[in-house]
């Protein structure tokens, strides 16, 4: 897929929502906060509970006061305005993706030994690949996630959702409550991915555990003791991926077989390590981040008065709601780039090698692009102009599948559990707070009395 022209015009600002539009009023929206542009940005902690639970005042302050701000805690340059983020994503020659999968918290020697014993390597494959091999590898991936395949997969997604909701309803009837996160939002995309890619011989819960451990190890701030635990799980994941790629009996037509038959620009077959790196990225994005999107979509719909019953039956509302969640509260909140040479961005002079953190979540609330950004407007005119899936040559190849899974998950759950409501405790649930990933970690529901 080629990159759009670097001088392509930015999307026009969203027109003001009309009176009587479908926007959720600010007073009813669970995520609405009052911006505080006067916040002391040197008190910002991107891993801190205050930012994780309520990032909007900080994101608003960054856009207003310091659109390109060096964060002393991480050493990263935080880029927060829509137009600057879009510029970075559309210029891979000046802003390289090489650091996209680097560990945020340095890995001590003991952890590196655990990974080395597992043969862990992640050569550039997809998200962190700025070489000429990227285009061909991306073409292999997009073949499995194009619009035709996603449309054909809808019955598969609906079938798996119904199977999981059968179990959910039985547990809800027996226990009086049920968590839609662990056994629905997480498992649904994992099982769908396994069917679409031809993955067999592993339990979905194990894949989810490996994927989540990888996110925490590379994008979290775990203690040294926790790093050792996570490294053991990541090592298991890598060994399984390597064995799967090396297995000459890969199912014909499967994703793994397509990778093993792919030739690099110089004519050589793709090496095992790079194929494993591609699988590593696709499996995590297809499971964990999609599960996080489903979790946020369900939680927000349950939080907004009247939205849950409407999502069950109103045509296209589930899809429109997912788009607003992606704009306002995406699971992938940020992404990294590194400058290839000195560059001026957002009024800041950056040296070569500057590590950037693109605040994707904040860009979806930029008032220069989206009118009343704090309001959830399911039929917003320019809803799809958000940057939550990226833009340009590294745009998420699974965007269509993720959107579809989240919409099916919402509609199916609202239809099967029309009386569901959040428990009192889960009005404000625990939140995943990694550098680039955010979502409710619990969506426990009870039946309306």
- State pLDDT tens for residues 290-319: 999 999 999 999 999 999 999 999 999 999
Provide the domain count of the chain. 1
Q: pLDDT by residue (tens digit) across 205-220?
A: 999 999 999 999 999 9
pLDDT at 160: 98
Residue 122 pLDDT level (bands cut at 50, 70, 90): confident
Residue 250 pLDDT level (bands cut at 50, 70, 90): low
Which among 285, 281, 292, 331 has a CA at the least distance from the CA of 185? Answer: 292
Whether residue 25 is contained in a domain is answered as no
What's the rounded Cα separation, in Å, for the pair 221 and 235?
A: 19
Angle between helices 204-219 and 224-246 (to 10 degrees): 130
Decide if pLDDT at 392 tops 50. Answer: yes
Whether residue 22 is contained in a domain is answered as no
Is pLDDT larger for residue 2 or for residue 64? 64
Whether residue 371 is contained in a domain is answered as yes
| SS3 state of residue 222 | coil
Average pLDDT over residues 368-383: 95
Retrieve residue 258's tokens. Answer: 């397509």
Q: pLDDT by residue (tens digit) across 79-120?
A: 999 999 999 999 999 999 999 999 999 999 999 999 999 999
321 within 8 A of 304, measured Cβ to Cβ: no
Run of H or E including 240: helix 224-246
Whether residue 42 is contained in a domain is answered as no
398 within 8 A of 144, measured Cβ to Cβ: no
Runs of H (alpha helix) within 254-349: 255-260, 272-284, 290-303, 307-313, 317-328
Which among 365, 342, 344 has a CA at the least distance from the CA of 352? Answer: 342
What's the rounded Cα separation, in Å, for the pair 212 and 222?
A: 13
What's the rounded Cα separation, in Å, for the pair 34 and 209?
A: 36
pLDDT at 10: 56
Sign of CA dihedral 231, 232, 236, 239: positive
Residue 43 pLDDT level (bands cut at 50, 70, 90): confident
In Å, the largest CA–CA distance within the chain is 66
pLDDT at 33: 40
Residue 252 pLDDT level (bands cut at 50, 70, 90): confident
What's the rounded Cα separation, in Å, for the pair 368 and 63?
A: 10
Decide if pLDDT at 137 tops 90. Answer: yes
Decide if pLDDT at 448 tops 90. Answer: no
For 243, the domain range is 48-447
Which among 358, 352, 306, 410 has a CA at the least distance from the CA of 127? Answer: 358
392: left (phi over 0), alpha (psi -120 to 50) or beta: left
Least confident segment among 135-149, 213-227, 355-369: 135-149
Retrieve residue 235's tokens. Answer: 């090592």
Retrieve residue 423's tokens. Answer: 């428990």
35 within 8 A of 64, measured Cβ to Cβ: yes
CB contact set of 101 (below 8 Å; sequence gap of 6+): 122, 127, 128, 218, 281
pLDDT at 14: 56
pLDDT at 198: 86
CB contact set of 287 (below 8 Å; sequence gap of 6+): 186, 189, 190, 193, 207, 208, 211
Whether residue 8 is contained in a domain is answered as no
Decide if pLDDT at 28 tops 50. Answer: no
Retrieve residue 292's tokens. Answer: 């996080």
Residue 424 pLDDT level (bands cut at 50, 70, 90): very high
Question: Cα 109 vs. chain centroid, distance in angstroms?
Answer: 30
Radius of gyration (C-alpha) of the chain in whole angstroms: 21
Which among 276, 378, 278 has a CA at the least distance from the CA of 321? Answer: 378
- pTM more than 0.85: yes
Whether residue 20 is contained in a domain is answered as no
Retrieve residue 213's tokens. Answer: 């451990």
Whether residue 344 is contained in a domain is answered as yes
What's the rounded Cα separation, in Å, for the pair 339 and 81?
A: 17
pLDDT at 20: 39
Decide if pLDDT at 34 tops 60. Answer: no
Average pLDDT over residues 337-355: 97
Whether residue 393 is contained in a domain is answered as yes
pLDDT at 31: 40
Decide if pLDDT at 5 tops 50. Answer: no
234 within 8 A of 213, measured Cβ to Cβ: yes
Read off the CATH number of the domain in which 351 is found.
1.10.630.10
Residue labelled with tokens 């309803």:
169
Run of H or E including 95: strand 95-96
């Amino acid at each position: 897929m080629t990159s759009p022209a670097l001088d392509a015009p930015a999307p026009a600002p969203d027109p003001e929502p009309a009176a009587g539009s479908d926007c959720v009023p600010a007073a009813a929206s669970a995520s609405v906060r009052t911006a505080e542009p006067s916040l002391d940005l040197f008190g910002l902690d991107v891993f801190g509970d205050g930012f994780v639970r309520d990032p909007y005042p900080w994101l608003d302050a960054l856009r207003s006061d310091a659109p390109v701000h060096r964060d002393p805690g991480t050493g990263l340059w935080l880029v927060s305005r829509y137009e600057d983020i879009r510029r970075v994503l559309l210029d891979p020659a000046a802003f390289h993706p090489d650091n996209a999968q680097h560990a945020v918290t340095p890995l001590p020697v003991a952890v590196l030994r655990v990974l080395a014993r597992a043969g862990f390597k992640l050569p550039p494959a997809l998200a962190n690949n700025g070489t000429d091999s990227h285009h061909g590898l991306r073409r292999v991936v997009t073949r499995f996630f194009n619009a035709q395949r996603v449309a054909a997969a809808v019955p598969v997604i609906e079938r798996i959702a119904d199977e999981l909701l059968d179990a959910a309803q039985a547990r809800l009837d027996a226990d009086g409550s049920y968590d839609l996160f662990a056994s629905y939002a997480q498992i649904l995309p994992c099982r769908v991915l396994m069917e679409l890619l031809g993955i067999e011989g592993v339990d979905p819960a194990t894949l989810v555990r490996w994927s989540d451990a990888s996110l925490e190890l590379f994008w979290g701030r775990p203690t040294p003791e926790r790093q050792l635990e996570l490294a053991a799980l990541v090592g298991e994941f890598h060994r399984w991926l390597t064995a799967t790629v090396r297995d000459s009996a890969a199912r014909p037509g499967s994703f793994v077989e397509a990778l093993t038959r792919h030739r690099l620009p110089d004519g050589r077959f793709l090496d095992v390590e790079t194929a494993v790196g591609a699988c590593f990225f696709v499996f995590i994005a297809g499971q964990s981040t999609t599960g996080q999107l489903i979790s946020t979509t369900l939680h927000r719909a349950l939080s907004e008065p009247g939205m849950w019953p409407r999502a069950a039956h109103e045509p296209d509302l589930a899809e429109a709601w997912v788009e607003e969640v992606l704009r306002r509260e995406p699971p992938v909140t940020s992404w990294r780039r590194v400058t290839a040479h000195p560059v001026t961005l957002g009024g800041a002079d950056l040296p070569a090698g500057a590590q950037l953190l693109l605040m994707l979540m904040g860009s979806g609330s930029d008032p220069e692009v989206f009118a009343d950004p704090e309001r959830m407007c399911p039929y917003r005119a320019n809803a799809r102009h958000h940057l939550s899936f990226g833009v340009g040559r590294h745009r998420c190849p699974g965007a269509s599948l993720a959107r579809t899974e989240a919409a099916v998950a919402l509609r199916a759950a609202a239809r099967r559990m029309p009386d569901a409501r959040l428990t009192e405790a889960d009005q404000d649930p625990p939140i995943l707070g990694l550098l680039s990933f955010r979502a409710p970690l619990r969506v426990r529901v009870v039946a309306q009395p």
